Chains A and B, each alone.
Chain A
């Protein structure tokens, strides 16, 4: 047994232990904290599977932003358990659920063990069509060239979900500011942190978007860092969420998907199919798409975290 496999086994044991903690903890807060830790350790698992872009995304979105969302929800739902009064499932239900889940797990594990060897792979066909994009990072090239349609649809999912979240506002707050107003001590540590970090955070976010063409990174990872900086300043009370009826906010949210869609439709005119890039112009067009989408992704992530409007527009 080499050292590397010992580390992998330890990592798998830790990840499973944290997943068990998240499932079986009595206290909701403990379960959420376990889930955030689980997300961070899972990004180490992704690194050991040589998927560095996914590791960045999991650490940022899966562990970070989802954790903040769930912690906020857990804080607002404190006391919900007592007021709900729902009966916990009995021992017979638990045993039958455990039997079902164990059989599903065993089936999946068997499927993993009998996976064909050598494994079928799309890497050669992806590599063949990636040569035109001149990008060094194959995952970014797949996201923006080989399977650009998936990314276009995903860029449309974020504003649609945001509309869904905003539609949950009560009538008198429609068009108002999302979330509650945060107040922090003006001389305190949180405000200091929110003044110190965002310049570096914005720099790192833009760097990660730029570097994503050749190294692990990309617009989702960079957009998450930009969103995190805005969330930090909001929590310190330095900035406030804009009211959702502001025109500039809606323009920022729509620019990314609209630019992507426009370039896709323009592909009908030039090379002849949807989302085809004219030869020799692939990399500049991809950079334009990334530049347009990064603010939209950052704004959508931060606003999804903020929730539906809960305050009137001017207060």
Chain B
């Protein structure tokens, strides 16, 4: 049983790491701010979610709830900040 849980953790955390890598590649390769934001928010939040779900079998009870709480906080913060950056970027583009 432990072995199955460990395999589950490894697969999901690797998938999360792959999504982070994809988001970073998008950050480096996309041409302007709005497309980079798109790559970052989609990939990083999903990547973090996969990492958190993969780590859940390794702990129990309160720590698992704290991990999920961390993911929710990151979602809230990154979505708010992405909106603000996007608005500022659009204002900057319209001024040109």
Contacts and interface: CB of A to CB of B under 8 A. Distances in A.
A touches B (Cβ under 8 A) = yes
Interface string A172-209: 00000000000000000110110011001000000000
B11 interface: no
Given A189-B84, A190-B84, A196-B76, 8 more contacts: A189-B80, A189-B83, A190-B80, A193-B76, A193-B80, A197-B76, A197-B77, A200-B73
Contacts of B76: 193, 196-197
Nearest to A190: B84
B84 to A, nearest CB: 6
B87 to A, nearest CB: 8
A79 B81 CA distance: 26
Q: Which of B73, B76, B80, B84 has the most CB of A within 10 A?
A: B80
A189 B77 CA distance: 10
A189 B87 CA distance: 10
Contacts of A192: 80
B17 to A, nearest CB: 12
Contacts of A189: 80, 83-84
Contacts of B80: 189-190, 192-193
Interface of B: 73, 76-77, 80, 83-84
Nearest to B86: A189
Contacts of A193: 76-77, 80
Contacts of A196: 76
A12 B58 CA distance: 27
Interface residues of A, number: 7
A192 B73 CA distance: 14
13 contacts: A189-B80, A189-B83, A189-B84, A190-B80, A190-B84, A192-B80, A193-B76, A193-B77, A193-B80, A196-B76, A197-B76, A197-B77, A200-B73
Contacts of B73: 200
A190 B84 CA distance: 8
Q: Which of A189, A192, A197 has the most CB of B within 10 A?
A: A189
A66 B77 CA distance: 19
A59 to B, nearest CB: 13
A197 B80 CA distance: 11
A193 B73 CA distance: 11
Pairs of residues from A and B, 10 with the lowest C-beta to C-beta distance, nearest first: A193-B80, A189-B83, A189-B80, A189-B84, A190-B84, A196-B76, A190-B80, A197-B76, A193-B76, A192-B80
B65 to A, nearest CB: 13
B35 to A, nearest CB: 20
A190 B87 CA distance: 12
Contacts of B83: 189
Nearest to B83: A189
A193 B83 CA distance: 11
B37 to A, nearest CB: 13
A190 B77 CA distance: 10
B90 to A, nearest CB: 13
B1 to A, nearest CB: 24
B77 to A, nearest CB: 8
Interface string A264-304: 00000000000000000000000000000000000000000
Nearest to B80: A193
A143 to B, nearest CB: 24
Nearest to A197: B76
A190 B76 CA distance: 11
A200 B73 CA distance: 10
A205 B68 CA distance: 18
Contacts of A190: 80, 84
A68 to B, nearest CB: 13
Nearest to A193: B80
Contacts of A197: 76-77
A11 B84 CA distance: 30
